[in-house]
C-alpha cells in the first residue's frame, strides 16, 4: 500500500478506527491508523481504543455491568463523531503541517528531472496548479505559506540544477 502514500486517492471519504485491547497500547495504534488514513487522503475521524474487561475471553466470565456501560458510552460518542465526519458538507481545511507536506512533495515532483509515476499522477490530477489535493478554502496566511514553500523549492531546484 506504499504507493498510496505517494498518490493519495481517498479524498472525500472518512476513516475511523476501533482498536480492542486487553491492557494497553491501543491509543498508540489508533493514532497510527488515523495518521495513515490522513496520508492516504481520508478525512480521519479520531478513532477509539476499547479495553475489554480482564478475563472476558473466557466464555464462563461475565462482563461486569459498569465496564459494559463504559464501553457502550465510549462507542456511542465515537459513533457520533464518525457520523459528523461522514456528513460534513465541506472538505476540512488542511493544517499547516499537511499543507507543507503537500507543497514540498508537489514542488519536488514539479521540478524533478526524474518524471516518474508520481509526477504523472500529480499532473493528471492537476495538483501542480491547485493549492491543495482537494478543493478547499485556504486562509490568507496558509496561501502565503504555500506560496513561500513553492518559491523556496523552485529556487532550490534551480540552484541544484545549475552547474557549479
Where are the chain's structural domains? 2-86, 96-161
pLDDT in tens, 112-159: 877 788 899 999 999 999 999 988 889 999 999 999 999 998 888 777
Measured CA to CA in angstroms, residue 10 lies from 41, 63, 97, 122 at distances of 5, 38, 19, 15
pLDDT in tens, 43-101: 889 999 988 776 556 667 777 788 889 889 999 999 999 999 999 888 888 999 999 99
pTM: 0.77
Q: What are the CB-based long-range contacts (under 8 Å, 24+) for 150-157?
A: 150/103, 150/106, 150/107, 153/103, 153/104, 153/107, 153/108, 153/111, 154/107, 154/111, 157/107, 157/111, 157/112
Amino acid at each position: 500500500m506504499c504507493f498510496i502514500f505517494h498518490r493519495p486517492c481517498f479524498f472525500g471519504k472518512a476513516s475511523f478506527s476501533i482498536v480492542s485491547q486487553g491492557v494497553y497500547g491501543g491509543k498508540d495504534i489508533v493514532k497510527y491508523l488515523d495518521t495513515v488514513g490522513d496520508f492516504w487522503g481520508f478525512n480521519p475521524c479520531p478513532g477509539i481504543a476499547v479495553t475489554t474487561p480482564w478475563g472476558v475471553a473466557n466464555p464462563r466470565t461475565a462482563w461486569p455491568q459498569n465496564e459494559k456501560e463504559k464501553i457502550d458510552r465510549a462507542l456511542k460518542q465515537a459513533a457520533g463523531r464518525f457520523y459528523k465526519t461522514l456528513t460534513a458538507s465541506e472538505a476540512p481545511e488542511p493544517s499547516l503541517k499537511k499543507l507543507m507536506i503537500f507543497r514540498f512533495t508537489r514542488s519536488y515532483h514539479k521540478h524533478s528531472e526524474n518524471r516518474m509515476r508520481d509526477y504523472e499522477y500529480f499532473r493528471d490530477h492537476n495538483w501542480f496548479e491547485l493549492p491543495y489535493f482537494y478543493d478547499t478554502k485556504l486562509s490568507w496566511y496558509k496561501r502565503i505559506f504555500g506560496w513561500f514553500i513553492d518559491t523556496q523549492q523552485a529556487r532550490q531546484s534551480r540552484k541544484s540544477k545549475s552547474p557549479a
